[in-house]
């Protein structure tokens, strides 16, 4: 079946640094990729939707200058957390949808970010 991978699975960084998380669709082309954030004991929260070759659409309350999303190809989207702060520590999950109108959406395994 379709697989979505994320890299890294875990990352620890110092406050003030930037961290890039990659999301790849491994055996299908994804025109749309979604980035979610999960707070402790909470459900997943949609951060942004990105379409290949165009700017991401951010949900209300999500800082687009802090969470930079690039969807440069049909198999890769990146989320960069800029000038990370401890409150950015969270679990980030990407999801990808195929190119067909009825294509389903597949979830990546997630990335645990810890900012010290």
Partner 1 sequence: KNEVEQSPQNLTAQEGEFITINCSYSVGISALHWLQQHPGGGIVSLFMLSSGKKKHGRLIATINIQEKHSSLHITASHPRDSAVYICAVLAATGNQFYFGTGTSLTVIP
CA distance 61 to 52: 23
3-state DSSP assignment of residue 88: helix
Indicate the residue among 9 and 73 with the shorter CB distance to partner 1: 9
Q: Pick from 107, 74, 91, 79: which is nearest to 4 by CA?
A: 107
CB of 82 to partner 1, least distance (A): 22
Contact residues for 26 (Cβ-Cβ < 8 A; gap 6+): 2, 3, 4, 5, 75
Give the binding range for partner 1 (CB under 8 A) out of 16-24, 64-72, 80-88, 99-107. Answer: 99-107
Among 13, 44, 68, 76, binds partner 1 (CB under 8 A): 44
Q: Does 55 bind partner 1 (CB under 8 A)?
A: no
Q: Is 42 a residue that touches partner 1 (CB under 8 A)? A: yes
Give the footprint of partner 1 on this chain (CB under 8 A): 9, 32, 34, 38, 41-44, 46, 49, 91, 93, 95, 97, 104-110, 112
């Amino acid at each position: 079946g379709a697989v979505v991978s994320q890299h890294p699975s875990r990352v620890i960084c110092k406050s003030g640094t930037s961290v890039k998380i990659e999301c790849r669709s491994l055996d299908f082309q994804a025109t749309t990729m979604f980035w979610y954030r999960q707070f402790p004991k909470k459900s997943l929260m949609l951060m942004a939707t990105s379409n290949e070759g165009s700017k991401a659409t951010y949900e209300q309350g999500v800082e687009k200058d802090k969470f930079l999303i690039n969807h440069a190809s049909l198999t890769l989207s990146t989320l960069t957390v800029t000038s990370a702060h401890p409150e950015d520590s969270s679990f980030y999950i990407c999801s990808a949808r195929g190119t067909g109108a009825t294509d389903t959406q597949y979830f990546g395994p997630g990335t645990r970010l810890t900012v010290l």
